[in-house]
Structure 1
Amino acid sequence: MPLPSVRADVDACPGALRLHAAADGPLARIRVPGGRMTGAQLTAVRELAARWGDGQVELTSRGNLQLRALRDAPVAELAGRLRAAGLLPSETHELVRNIVASPLAGALPVEALDGALCADAALAELPGRFLFALDSGVGDVAFGADVAALPLDPPGEVAIIFAGVDAGLRVPAAETIPALLAAAHAFLDEREAQLGSPAPDMSVDSHPVAPPDSSGFVASVDVPPDGRPPRRVPHPRAGSQRVPWRVRELLDGPVRVAARTAATLGRTLREPVRLSRPVVREPIGVVGQPDGTVAVGALIPLGRLSDVQLEVLEAAATLTFTPWRGVVLPGLTPQAAQAWVAALAGAGLEVAVGSRWAGVTACAGRPGCAKSLADVRADADAATVAGDGLPVHWVGCARGCGSPAGPHVRVEATGTGYEVRSPYAVGSASAAEVGVLVGAARKG
């Protein structure tokens, strides 16, 4: 059963230069391609949260990080500190560095793709919701992206898939990055063709531009710290269709964008293969790696890290935040892994298989979001018990922010309780009774 899709007319994704006016104060989103960062970089993020925010760091469904309640944060200084930590390599492309990667695969070319994307001036005009994926071949991240590289048999060949659909485009593994960038250009070209005009109506973000307050914050408007004009983005024309943000929003998007990409690369599309989205579970506990090392995966309940948890994670040389709002510490010896399991569990992170938080996520809810009809995090905490089946996502309104890409149970606040939707059924319940309904919906 399809879930409702609700969105604003304007792509106003927050970033480190464009803060979002949330109910609890300005919100900054820090892009972390592939979810990969160092412990030292996480220290820089924690210090920003402690100085100007609420002291916590929030994870998104793309492995990015968010700082909330930045009421007194000067945007220029915030950006400068992120730049010094290596977390803001490009101001022009800051909103479009949206890359997910299989969290247990260390050899994927995340940095190379990020660098090539930032070096391509035209791709700064991608929507902030356009998503690239580098999949290890297990299918854990490919199906929710606009364009993804999915290794197939025979080894060395990669399928480039579009909005989860195989249109028959195959490239050698060495050409993965050029193919992904060509696909992004093809999306922009196809979008322009479908809008029916030779050039987009380039205007400053249509949200009202309020004067900056004493901190330099301007709600939902790009504020580059060097004084350059705001980033210009294409807007819908009067009486026309909305400007598509994702491949799936184009008419025959996967097929048309694939055809344009193949033409650019000088390749012929093959007979497509019907791909099946696998059941994906978050890495949790000690996980063996092909190179003889091990990784430790931990769930972060409802995707929010406290200052204590952040300080524990900072001791890691490298870490990977996952699209399931978890974290993976790679490249460990078995002895080091056991020490990390104890440290993470002691900080309140979930490292045991069977955790009640497995597969459970939520949007910000009240009081952080003015549109939310309930404190969904508190209600999810009260209702969630250990179980398996479909993932569950709690949302405070019909927008469904942060929803998983695949089949899941959607628990949506209605103002008087919750509506529970899954591919199998729809039902309603009060906050006190919703847990039973959610458990049944997960099982189908």
Structure 2
Amino acid sequence: MPNPSVRADADACPGALRLHAAADGPLARVRVPGGRMTGAQLAAVHELAARWGDGHVELTSRANLQLRALGKAPVDELAARLRAAGLLPSETHELVRNTAASPLAGGLPVGALDRALCADPSLAELPGRFLFALDGGEGDVAFGADVAALPLGDEVAIIFAGVDAGLRVPPAEVIPALLAAAHAFLEERAAQTSATATTPHAPPATAEPTATRRDASADPPRSVPVPSSAGPGAAAGVPGARPAPGVVDHSTSVGARSDGIPAPRAGDSADGRQRVAWRVRELADGPARVAARTAATLGRTLGEPAELPRPVLREPIGVVAQVDGTVAVGALVPLGRLNDVQLKVLEAAESLIFTPWRGVVLPGLTPQAAGSWLAALAGAGLEVEAGSRWVGVTACAGRPGCAKSLADVRADADAATVAGQGLPVHWVGCARGCGSPAGPHVRVEATGAGYEVRSPYACGVTSVGEVGALVGTARKG
């Protein structure tokens, strides 16, 4: 098994032009900045899933869409259809169009940021895991991104990897500030990589650091192994199989990391290979140094950082009043997988907002329309009640879709999940922890010999049903 602290240099994030060779066939990731799209665009994606894939559309933790089992999909035609639907505006920047946005906030410049990003040729060098965020002011997306804009009164705080370094800009300068931060990341990464290559133990580069705060929620909790109903062993790939044209085989890469696992820093790995940072937090003193470079570019001085509260996140569920007098309807997608019936219902919406919590919001509705939508979504099997057992519960793909997974985590999560209150819970099939939430959560990890529940309140259990009881206790803290 690969050492999880070591990874390949190459950033192998899948996209619409470069597919991932998953165990169930090629996988395409369609980037949807801010999760914003139309029902007509979703219909175009659904058609591709039905024609060449397994018929489902998956939601990611960045509110992007995934199509699986695309074994017969011509990559060029797939791209052409996405381009025609307005979902592939740039081939050069396709992998770096990663923007999270508060789902209930109106007026966020998601489209303007995406256009500005795509118009800057040098930003095509960003890693596919670098994440922008436009927060509406509630702090729901700001702290999991590499660089985020968080309104604070009449100013906007630019947050770096969850850290407030004291950089403030007026609202009109948000997009230039975010792009300057992306450039600063690339510059600092180049400086640290160069310093490591020439002097392995040299201190990282020249920017003046500022103080950063340690987030206590990042401390690894105690863990206890728990047997799994799925049994030991890993899903095997097809011997001798080769990826189709346009498909990248990730089977030898150990680079798919998540926000739930400590990230390696730029420098030399244990086997002598040089690592290249993909996220701001992977740089030595990354938030402070990138903030200093960004401030210098903007001609601004870093002020006093604020103690910003990190809210307990709650997915928008049911009818939510909006400041403009309209209402929105939020629904959870159980384990982030939309089926044919659910897709057909959602395609009738004028506009859709997918959330980083694998849910969907229909904005700008009248109260009368909201009632009709609630009934339609519930009838399709989407969760529109706040007490749903699926509130806060997510999972990676698991078996059989992922060859690295040690269990069918979706089936086990379904069997074990009974309540929807407390900390989020994320089920993962291996130590990579793909799709993990950025904030505090309960992690249920398959080990091949069982499950490991990472929580301060963990205790020994012997079955998936008992895992569910333990997770319920851990969520409530």
TM over 0.5: yes
Deviation at 1:341, TM superposition (A): 0.2
Q: SS of the residue aligned with 2:158?
A: strand
Return closer, same or farther for 1:211/1:407 CA change in 2, 3 Å cut-off: closer
Instruction: Give the aligned partner of residue 229 of structure 1.
Output: none
> Alignment partner for residue 247 of structure 2, among 215, 218, 233?
218
Return closer, same or farther for 1:263/1:423 CA change in 2, 3 Å cut-off: farther
> Alignment partner for residue 189 of structure 1, among 187, 190, 194?
187
Per-residue displacement from partner, 1:282-340 (whole Å, max 9, x unpaired)?
A: 00000000000000000000000001100000000000000000000000000000000
Return closer, same or farther for 1:423/1:321 CA change in 2, 3 Å cut-off: farther
Counterpart Cα distance in 1 of 2:116 and 2:28: 24
2:283 aligned with 1:283, yes or no? no
Counterpart Cα distance in 2 of 1:330 and 1:418: 39
Per-residue displacement from partner, 1:40-86 (whole Å, max 9, x unpaired)?
A: 00000000000000000000000000000000001000000000000
Deviation at 1:179, TM superposition (A): 0.0
Counterpart Cα distance in 2 of 1:198 and 1:140: 36
Contact map agreement 1:7 1:399 (CA 8 A) in 2: no
Instruction: Give the aligned partner of residue 230 of structure 1.
Output: none
Instruction: Give the aligned partner of residue 175 of structure 1.
Output: 173
Return closer, same or farther for 1:244/1:356 CA change in 2, 3 Å cut-off: same
Return closer, same or farther for 1:443/1:5 CA change in 2, 3 Å cut-off: farther
Bigger mean CA offset, 9-18 vs 26-35: 9-18
Counterpart Cα distance in 2 of 1:38 and 1:283: 19
Contact map agreement 1:417 1:431 (CA 8 A) in 2: no
Superposed counterparts of 1:2-401, under 5 Å: 8-9=7-8, 10-153=10-153, 155=154, 157-196=155-194, 216-220=245-249, 239=272, 241-401=274-434
Counterpart Cα distance in 2 of 1:26 and 1:173: 41
Q: Which amino acid aligns with 2:247?
A: V
Q: Which amino acid aligns with 1:313?
A: L
Q: SS of the residue aligned with 1:196?
A: helix
Deviation at 1:417, TM superposition (A): 1.9
Per-residue displacement from partner, 1:166-193 (whole Å, max 9, x unpaired)?
A: 0000000000000000000000000111
Counterpart Cα distance in 2 of 1:199 and 1:173: 40
Return closer, same or farther for 1:426/1:252 CA change in 2, 3 Å cut-off: farther
Counterpart Cα distance in 1 of 2:84 and 2:459: 49
Q: SS of the residue aligned with 2:470?
A: helix
Deviation at 1:416, TM superposition (A): 2.4
Deviation at 1:219, TM superposition (A): 2.5
Return closer, same or farther for 1:166/1:287 CA change in 2, 3 Å cut-off: same
Counterpart Cα distance in 2 of 1:275 and 1:424: 27
Runs of 4+ in 1 over 6 A off after TM superposition: 210-213, 234-238
Counterpart Cα distance in 2 of 1:426 and 1:32: 40
Deviation at 1:240, TM superposition (A): 5.2
Return closer, same or farther for 1:406/1:278 CA change in 2, 3 Å cut-off: same
Provide the aligned length of Structure 1 versus Structure 2: 417
Deviation at 1:386, TM superposition (A): 1.8
Which blocks of at least 5 consecutive residues in structure 2 are unaligned?
A: 199-239, 251-265
Deviation at 1:199, TM superposition (A): 11
Q: Which amino acid aligns with 1:111?
A: G
Contact map agreement 2:184 2:290 (CA 8 A) in 1: yes
Per-residue displacement from partner, 1:143-165 (whole Å, max 9, x unpaired)?
A: 00000000002x2x100010000
Q: SS of the residue aligned with 2:364?
A: strand
Instruction: Give the aligned partner of residue 443 of structure 2.
Output: 410
Counterpart Cα distance in 1 of 2:456 and 2:33: 31
Return closer, same or farther for 1:257/1:302 CA change in 2, 3 Å cut-off: same
RMSD of aligned Cα (Å) = 2.2
Counterpart Cα distance in 2 of 1:29 and 1:236: 30
Which blocks of at least 5 consecutive residues in structure 1 are unaligned?
A: 201-209, 222-233
Return closer, same or farther for 1:371/1:286 CA change in 2, 3 Å cut-off: same
Q: SS of the residue aligned with 2:62?
A: coil
Contact map agreement 1:390 1:408 (CA 8 A) in 2: yes
Counterpart Cα distance in 1 of 2:289 and 2:457: 32
Counterpart Cα distance in 2 of 1:327 and 1:271: 37
Per-residue displacement from partner, 1:107-139 (whole Å, max 9, x unpaired)?
A: 100000000000000000000000000000000
Deviation at 1:245, TM superposition (A): 0.5
Q: SS of the residue aligned with 1:433?
A: helix
Contact map agreement 1:83 1:89 (CA 8 A) in 2: yes
Deviation at 1:11, TM superposition (A): 1.6
Q: Which amino acid aligns with 1:287?
A: V
Return closer, same or farther for 1:433/1:286 CA change in 2, 3 Å cut-off: same
Counterpart Cα distance in 2 of 1:270 and 1:217: 47
Contact map agreement 2:396 2:434 (CA 8 A) in 1: yes
Q: Which amino acid aligns with 2:7?
A: A
Counterpart Cα distance in 1 of 2:6 and 2:98: 19
Deviation at 1:387, TM superposition (A): 3.4
Q: Which amino acid aligns with 1:79?
A: A
Q: SS of the residue aligned with 2:165?
A: strand
- Give me the TM-score of the superposition, normalised by structure 1: 0.90
Q: SS of the residue aligned with 2:464?
A: coil
Contact map agreement 2:158 2:167 (CA 8 A) in 1: yes
